[in-house]
Each structure stands twice: as structure tokens, then as C-alpha cells.
Structure 1
Amino acid sequence: MCFSLLCYWDPCASGGQGVGAALDYFISKGQIPDRDGGQVTWYHAANSKASTAEALKSAAHMIEADVLLRGREPREPIMAHPPHSDSDITLQDWLNEVLLSDKGIKLDFKSLEAVQSSIRLLESVKSQQSRPLWINADILPGPNGSPGQAVEAKGFLNSVCPVSPHAVLSLGWTTGWSPQTENHGYSWEMVKEMEQICGALPQPVTFPVRAALLRQSFTQLHWLLQQSDRYSLSVWTGKDDVYPVEDLLYLRNNFDKSRIFYDITEAQDAAFKKAIGYSSIVK
């Protein structure tokens, strides 16, 4: 997982709107009935022309894609996930397609290399229309995660914040999970280090947290959300992760549902929505 940034593209927007601006956007489009992050759905890895076209036809509210700097000339932002270093669609062309829709955007960065040129592209089109925008990257080592895989926090924030002052930053931890070992949760040290970084930021922040590590971390994550009404959680999952739907229900029943998003697999989403009485939307 990576470092996420959620923006609401509106020159008049204020950071105080928080992630609620994304919910308000989908409510205004008649796509969700109320401020409930559990109703927002996602399309993953729209990293080619074909998958982007499929995503635009889907019922998903948010389209997720990965951004890299092309591994050959011309060195420009493209839609690809490591180990790939090339693609049949650039970020510019991807934006041209997605901006014709009313979908929200989630861009995933694994390194700083493509950030500045990508942010410039986003700024160049921000006046076209307002929509939710998430920019994703892990900035700290987390449970069972590798420190070397984290995007350098200071460099990321210095690149993004001055150019996108109304962005909602979604900042995550590198993590790992294995069915064969004891999987530790988000420790007090981890959440307090994140709060130390985010407490001084003017923007709202959403924290990507791994669903399979929730049970071990409820107390720490509850504390983190209590530190500011600018904060929210974005629950995500690895495709092979195993966890009980009760963990998602506990989170939903004990946290403000307008501050929790669920970026999980289709099967997990179906089980979750069945448990809370919603119809699952195929992504």
C-alpha cells in the first residue's frame, strides 16, 4: 500500500471540508444516499487503455491506478505498477479519459520520482471540474513492513502540499501479512509517529489501514482518529489476506461511518455489505 492524497478539486474549497467533501460529491450526483464511507466503491489497477475503459463503464465510484515515470524516453508519468516500467497509456491521456466521467480518482505512488511532474499535470486540469482525488503512498514503515519501501515523507509532502493546498492527504504505512506467522498490528509508536507528522498539516488526512491488521489495532486507531476531526481511515486489503467480516463490523459500529472508507476486494465487499444490509456493487 502507499501514500494517499485525497483532494477535492475546487479552487474555493477549504481544507476544513475534510473527506466529507468526497461523500458530498457522490451524494450530489445521486450515487450514494448519505454520508457513509461504506457505500463508496472502487475499481482497482486501471493501468491500461482497456482497463481504464472498463473502469469508466463500471458502477465503481472511485478509479484507482498506479503512476510511474516511464523507464525509457520520453520520461513521463505513465499508468503502471512495478515491476512494469512501461504502459500503453500516459497519465495525461488517462486524465483526459477519466475527466469525461464523474468518477473519483485515486493515484498510487510507490516512489517520489514521478510525483512532481504528475502533480503539475493534475494542477493543469483542476479547473475542468470538481471531483474527489486520492493520491496514495506509504510514508512510514508499519506492521511487518519494510522501511526501504516507504516513500520519503518530507519529500512527498514538500512536493504535494505547496501545489495542492486544498488536498486531503492520505498517508499510510508499509505492511506485510502472512497466514503462517503472528501478524502484529499498528503499534502506539507507529500511530504516534504518524500523528506527529500529520498534526501540523492544515489539510484533512485519511490513513490507509490493512483490514487483516485491524483487530490488533482498534485501540491505537481509535486514538489516532480522536486526535483531529480532519482524520479518517481507508481500510484496504491484500488479495490473499484473510480476516473475519466481524472486524469490519466492529470498526463500523464503534467509529463514525462518515470517516471510514472500505477499499477491499469484491468478495470481501459483498460479505461486508450483506452483513450491514446493503446491496454489493460489482466493481
Structure 2
Amino acid sequence: MKRIILSNWRSIAFVFFGCFIVFFVWNLNERMSDRTLEYFVGPSQVKWDAAEVRWSHAVNSRSRLTEALSGPTHMLEADVIIRGRDPKEPIMAHPPDTDSDITLKEWLEGVKDHNKGIKLDFKSLEAVPPSVALLEEVYQPDRPVWINADILSGPGGQARPLDPQAFLFSVKTLPSHTVLSLGWTTGWTAGADNAGYSWNMVRVMEEICRALKNPVTFPVRAALLAQSFSQLSWLLQQSDRYTLTVWTGQNDEFTLQDLLPYKEEVDIRRIYYDLQDSGRTEQENN
């Protein structure tokens, strides 16, 4: 009888342990809900490194889209605005351009049969609701989809950011695993003492993102990393849903040393490098 009771208790304990493991893994997946790396690297990959994800920039024309779709990059980054003439509809262009040879609808149709992720960058609120509606029509659950906007003023930023609450309200119908790329407007001047991301900037951003269910990546300017290490490290620590995406302006100056603290001290799954080709080559060769 004692053996039977002991066996039953062992069976119960095994079931509870199994349930705990399932719950733990499920909860971890929910917290680390950015599926971008899993999509490109694969779930069986032991070492997930966000630096392996490669980017195509300014895919705002038919020719650039054709080139990017046939190339080795993983993520296609493009800008969305409302056409400056009739018919008023979302098109692929970056201000000051007001027209394009491809609409967002055509762009999404062109991408959907390819194994690429997409990042849509919005410079105005008026383009967001109609774009979300188009995106929902062709959305594929497993495809990485990033939605980008600068929602706060940042170091040296002169452009007006999008209103954060209005932007987040406009994208709230997208699936919860859609990555929200939420950044600061920034500026950078050669030869000047450029300030980094302040404590107030990162704390305000975290307050905005705290209640979100989506994974959030914070696009941060590579030339401002060295003076912002403490602030951005703190920001990453506030949630497992948070990542950084390091980007660089065309004329920015930064050294490999600016990136080393992040590569050495922060989880490599949590920092993407959306760099110009020269910066990426230098970073990969380290």
C-alpha cells in the first residue's frame, strides 16, 4: 500500500513539475514576445544573436523593392506617407518627397510571398490608420512586422515627434506580437559635444511603454551610444519585452569602441544593428 501511495505521489509530482515547465516556457515566450530572431534564425538555434539580422534601407520604390526582395537581407525598411495629390493614399516615400511609383498596398502585395520581415516608418499620424487597415488585410501571423515612429523629442532633435498616445491608439488593433519601434527625434553635429539620451528621456519613454503588451524596440543613434550607456542599459532592464535597435545617420561619426560595451555586457538577443554597410562590416569583423 505504501508503495502504491508513494508511486501515486511521484506521478502527481511529475505532472505538477511538467505543468510548471510548460508554464515557465510559455511565460518566457510571452515575455520575450519579439519573434524576429526565431523567424530568421530558427527555434533550434542555440545562440541567438540579433546582430545577424540584416537590413535593407529606404525601400521606397519599385526598383528598390525588387532589389531588396532578391537580396540577402532579412528586414525591409520603408517610409510611409500620404500622397500629396489625389488619390490621397499611403505611398512609399520619405519627406520632402510627396509622391512615389509604388503605393503601400502594392508594396505589401509584393512582399507577402517572400521570406522577409518588414519595418514601416511613419513620419505623420495621418498615414497610420489607413496603413494599419491595409496591413491587416495581408498580415501573415509568422512574419516579423515592425511599426516605427519617433514619439518623443531626443538629444538634438529638431523634428516634431508624433503624439505618442495618438500613435499607439492608431496601431492598437494590430496583433500583440507586432514589434513597436518607438524612438526619439535626434540630431548630431560633427565636431560638437553631442549630448546623449538623458535620464528623463528614457524614463518618460518607459512610462509610455510600461503598459503595452507588444514587444518594443527602441531605435537609438549609434553616435550617441557612448554617452548613454547607463541610461539605455537601465531601460532594457525594465522589461524583457524591450530591445534596442542601433542605427546610424549617413554622415554620423562613431567608432567600434562605442558598440563594444553593449556587445560585451548586454544580452546579444536584445540589440539589433541597423547600420550602414561600412559600420556593419566593422562590427561583424570584431
Give me the TM-score of the superposition, normalised by structure 2.
0.87
Q: Deviations over 1:151-200 (max 9, x none)?
A: 11011000002344332212100000011311000000000000110111
Give the equivalent residue in structure 1 for 2:67: 54
Alignment of 1:117-196 (within 5 A): 117-127=130-140, 130-146=142-158, 148-196=159-207
* Paired residue type of 1:69: I
Alignment of 1:202-221 (within 5 A): 202-221=213-232
Task: Please give the alpha-carbon distance, in whole angstroms, between the structure 1 residues aligned to 2:41 and 2:171.
Answer: 27
- The one of 82, 89, 96 aligned to 2:102: 89
Task: Please give the alpha-carbon distance, in whole angstroms, between the structure 2 residues aligned to 1:174 and 1:241.
Answer: 15
2:35 is the counterpart of 1:24:
no
Task: Report if aligned partners of 1:15, 1:168 keep a CA contact under 8 Å in 2.
Answer: no
Secondary structure in structure 2 of the residue aligned to 1:54: helix
Task: Report if aligned partners of 1:16, 1:203 keep a CA contact under 8 Å in 2.
Answer: no
Task: Please give the alpha-carbon distance, in whole angstroms, between the structure 2 residues aligned to 1:122 and 1:244.
Answer: 38
Task: Please give the alpha-carbon distance, in whole angstroms, between the structure 2 residues aligned to 1:262 and 1:178.
Answer: 21
Task: Please give the alpha-carbon distance, in whole angstroms, between the structure 2 residues aligned to 1:151 and 1:83.
Answer: 17
* Paired residue type of 1:172: G
- Which consecutive unaligned segments of at least 5 residues does structure 2 have? 1-28
Alignment of 1:242-281 (within 5 A): 242-275=253-286
Coordinate RMSD, CA, aligned:
1.7
Q: Deviations over 1:108-159 (max 9, x none)?
A: 10110110000011111114x621111111000000112x521110110000
* Paired residue type of 1:107: L
Task: Please give the alpha-carbon distance, in whole angstroms, between the structure 2 residues aligned to 1:28 and 1:267.
Answer: 27
Task: Report if aligned partners of 1:68, 1:114 keep a CA contact under 8 Å in 2.
Answer: yes
Task: Please give the alpha-carbon distance, in whole angstroms, between the structure 1 residues aligned to 2:217 and 2:117.
Answer: 15
Task: Report if aligned partners of 1:141, 1:150 keep a CA contact under 8 Å in 2.
Answer: yes
Task: Report if aligned partners of 2:31, 2:240 keep a CA contact under 8 Å in 1.
Answer: no
Task: Report if aligned partners of 1:23, 1:34 keep a CA contact under 8 Å in 2.
Answer: no
Give the equivalent residue in structure 1 for 2:116: 103
* Paired residue type of 1:55: A
| CA distance 1:61–1:33, change in 2 (3 Å) | farther
Task: Please give the alpha-carbon distance, in whole angstroms, between the structure 1 residues aligned to 2:174 and 2:230.
Answer: 35
| CA distance 1:38–1:226, change in 2 (3 Å) | same
| CA distance 1:23–1:163, change in 2 (3 Å) | closer
Secondary structure in structure 1 of the residue aligned to 2:108: helix
- Cα deviation for residue 203 of structure 1 reads 1.6
Task: Please give the alpha-carbon distance, in whole angstroms, between the structure 2 residues aligned to 1:131 and 1:203.
Answer: 15
Give me the TM-score of the superposition, normalised by structure 1.
0.87
Give the equivalent residue in structure 2 for 1:229: 240
> Identity over aligned residues, as a percent?
53
- Cα deviation for residue 15 of structure 1 reads 5.3
2:139 is the counterpart of 1:115:
no
Task: Report if aligned partners of 1:15, 1:167 keep a CA contact under 8 Å in 2.
Answer: no
The number of equivalent residue pairs is 258
Task: Please give the alpha-carbon distance, in whole angstroms, between the structure 2 residues aligned to 1:105 and 1:220.
Answer: 28
Secondary structure in structure 1 of the residue aligned to 2:121: strand
- Cα deviation for residue 29 of structure 1 reads 9.5
